[in-house]
Chain A
Amino acid sequence: GAGVSQSPRYKVAKRGQDVALRCDPISGHVSLFWYQQALGQGPEFLTYFQNEAQLDKSGLPSDRFFAERPEGSVSTLKIQRTQQEDSAVYLCASSVTSGALIEQFFGPGTRLTVL
């Protein structure tokens, strides 16, 4: 079956531009996660959805970052007024439920470069 997909795979933005990153989770997966992976680092948690409810947004680095999942399926991570420090790979993951042992399936990521 289809895995988690993300689009675009690569995005180049000029500083100050707004960007929108899309995540299509595995069909039927209740939980959806966004992580930010800076170059040479491990992924860092940004936010978590259970269906359409955003239950944890403690990892969002500033109010320029906004995520939504309005129908409990596709999610969009929006970054307003991008800065150079926003350059990273943004990973989306989904899981069938929210249980701690449940595997999170990751997408290929979107590499954002802010010039």
Chain B
Amino acid sequence: AQTVTQSQPEMSVQEAETVTLSCTYDTSESDYYLFWYKQPPSRQMILVIRQEAYKQQNATENRFSVNFQKAAKSFSLKISDSQLGDAAMYFCAYRGGTASKLTFGTGTRLQVTL
């Protein structure tokens, strides 16, 4: 079974600074996809960024980028120029190539301070 591990329960970053959230996963599949979701206090999950495992190039979306290390099974999220609105729970998620469901980690709570 696939597992997703987020070892940082909480992180804090100052506004305008950069922060990296860690995620590791375990799988025996060769075809899979990885995601970072943001869950603000309102609870509605929002997709931040996604990565196909077969792509070597790291995905980027504006201030959000990933460091995908396939051999190490690591998928970290970097948030640049942090903003107050970035404060939320961040979940790393895995989806197998033929699977329908997402498998989530336990989340990292990000605080953004002035």
Measured CB to CB, the residues of A under 8 A from B are 3, 31, 33, 35, 40-45, 48, 50, 55-56, 59, 89, 91, 93, 98, 100-101, 103-104, 106-109
Contacts and interface: CB of A to CB of B under 8 A. Distances in A.
A42 B91 contact: yes
Chain B interface extent, by class: 20 to 34
A89 to B, nearest CB: 7
Given A48-B100, A98-B100, A103-B50, A43 B91 contact: yes
B45 A91 contact: yes
B100 A43 contact: no
Nearest to A106: B45
Interface in B20-50: 31-33, 37, 42-47, 50
Contacts, number: 61
A26 to B, nearest CB: 13
Interface string B93-114: 1011111111111110000000
Contact of A108 (B43, B93, B100, B101): B43
A31 B46 CA distance: 17
29 contacts: A41-B106, A41-B107, A42-B91, A42-B105, A42-B106, A42-B107, A43-B45, A43-B102, A43-B104, A45-B102, A56-B101, A59-B101, A89-B43, A93-B45, A98-B100, A100-B31, A100-B96, A100-B97, A100-B98, A101-B33, A101-B52, A103-B50, A104-B47, A104-B102, A106-B44, A106-B45, A108-B43, A108-B44, A109-B43
